[in-house]
Structure 1
Amino acid sequence: MKNHIVTAFRLTIVMLAVVGIYLLIVYGGSKILPTKGNAEIITQNGQKFYANIGQEFKSEKYFHGRPSSVNYNAAGSGGSNKGPSNQEYLEIVQKRIDTLKMEHPGMENTKVPVELVTASGSGLDPDISEEGALYQVKKIAEVRHLSEEKLKELIKNQAEKPFLGILGPSKVNVLKLNIALDQLK
């Protein structure tokens, strides 16, 4: 009995050390990120928005982000847990594709970027690919009476390159893009 207690105590000490070191590595690693591991808050017209949490934009004069399986509620993030073999999920995605093509006339023969019709694992992804933003240019240019070239340049300027030039894809933060869009003259 005494041997088991001593062994359990030793294992507990070793695991505390391993987990503690892991936590220090994760915490230290977060401090080298651009936001230092903190939320990125943007104040616009007296309102605060969190740039690292997906926002819902309903108006057709704005770029839209990824669909959310949690209605953009940051209090409870989560995915649908339905995979590509789930018939109900496939029907939801197909309905989103059909709706997107209907909302964006002239884009019927263009491949729909996957992030515009599928929710992320958290349901709160604030970013889309440059292709996802470019897919929406024609409609927004028409609604806002802007040239498509001007919007494409805006997207190019708002695109965030991969971290350290190699980690992850190039992406566009939808909130920042829409704020920049409102500031266009």
Structure 2
Amino acid sequence: MLSSLRPAFVTMLAFTALTGAALPLAIVGGAQILAPEKADGSLVIRDGQPVGSLLIGQNFTGAGFFHPRPSATVEPDPKDSSKTIPTPYAADNSAASNLAPTSKALIDRVRGDVAALHATSVPADAVTTSGSGLDPDISPENALMQADRVAAARHLATDQVRALIASHTQLPLLGFLGGARVNVLALNLALLNMPR
């Protein structure tokens, strides 16, 4: 019996070493050589400190910043662990709200968000969450809707802010996959570099 277990055990150890250690290390090493910034999570460094990732949304709320798409992520309530509380862009707990389109809570939240924007036309991504709750991008229409507010708060000309949006708009992949998008973190960091 021991003679039949030994080959199985040796094979298991060999494949564990190969697929559990050697292959992942080779993939990570190759990624570090070919695209180090992407392999490190697309971190954005400002003044020597990481300020975020281009892949994960952040909760910008000030009038002088572009606001991201709403987030549906939640965390356990520190006062009552049987409940959850909204925690926008909690990267450790990525999730959608799981509210159906007919949910009264969802309909009321979206209506409230639309009313708060005071706009005649509101892009869908300005009031709806993504599947992960961590979407780092908004549509160019969403960014343009916010241009007047951002320009006024930063004492900039609206045309300057619109030009900044245009320069940060990424076209669909291969010209047809997905939609045009604007990375909120990149756009807000560019705002900080604009002369007033």
| Runs of 4+, deviation exceeding 4 Å | 35-38
In the other structure, the counterpart of 1:12 is: none
In structure 2, do the counterparts of structure 1 residues 111 and 170 end up closer, same or farther at CA, with 3 Å as the change threshold? same
C-alpha offsets along residues 68-91 of structure 1, whole Å, 9 cap, x if unaligned? 111211001000011211111100
The structure with the largest alpha-carbon Rg is 2
Q: Structure 1 residue 47: deviation in Å? A: 2.8
In the other structure, the counterpart of 1:86 is: 103
For the residues of structure 2 that align with 1:83 and 1:111, how far apart are their CA atoms?
Answer: 23
In structure 2, do the counterparts of structure 1 residues 143 and 36 end up closer, same or farther at CA, with 3 Å as the change threshold? closer
Unaligned runs of 5+ in 1: 1-26, 102-107
In the other structure, the counterpart of 1:54 is: 57
1:151 maps to 2:154: no
In the other structure, the counterpart of 1:20 is: none
In structure 2, do the counterparts of structure 1 residues 163 and 125 end up closer, same or farther at CA, with 3 Å as the change threshold? same
Normalised to the residue count of structure 1, the TM-score between the two structures is 0.75
Percent identity reads 39
For the residues of structure 2 that align with 1:170 and 1:144, how far apart are their CA atoms?
Answer: 25
In the other structure, the counterpart of 1:184 is: 194
In the other structure, the counterpart of 2:43 is: 41
In the other structure, the counterpart of 1:99 is: 116
For the residues of structure 1 that align with 2:105 and 2:112, how far apart are their CA atoms?
Answer: 11
In the other structure, the counterpart of 2:82 is: none
For the residues of structure 1 that align with 2:39 and 2:99, how far apart are their CA atoms?
Answer: 30
Normalised to the residue count of structure 2, the TM-score between the two structures is 0.71
* Equivalent position amino acid for 2:56 in 1: I
C-alpha offsets along residues 38-72 of structure 1, whole Å, 9 cap, x if unaligned? 62110113331111000011211000001111121
Unaligned runs of 5+ in 2: 1-26, 74-87
For the residues of structure 1 that align with 2:171 and 2:104, how far apart are their CA atoms?
Answer: 36
In structure 2, do the counterparts of structure 1 residues 148 and 169 end up closer, same or farther at CA, with 3 Å as the change threshold? same
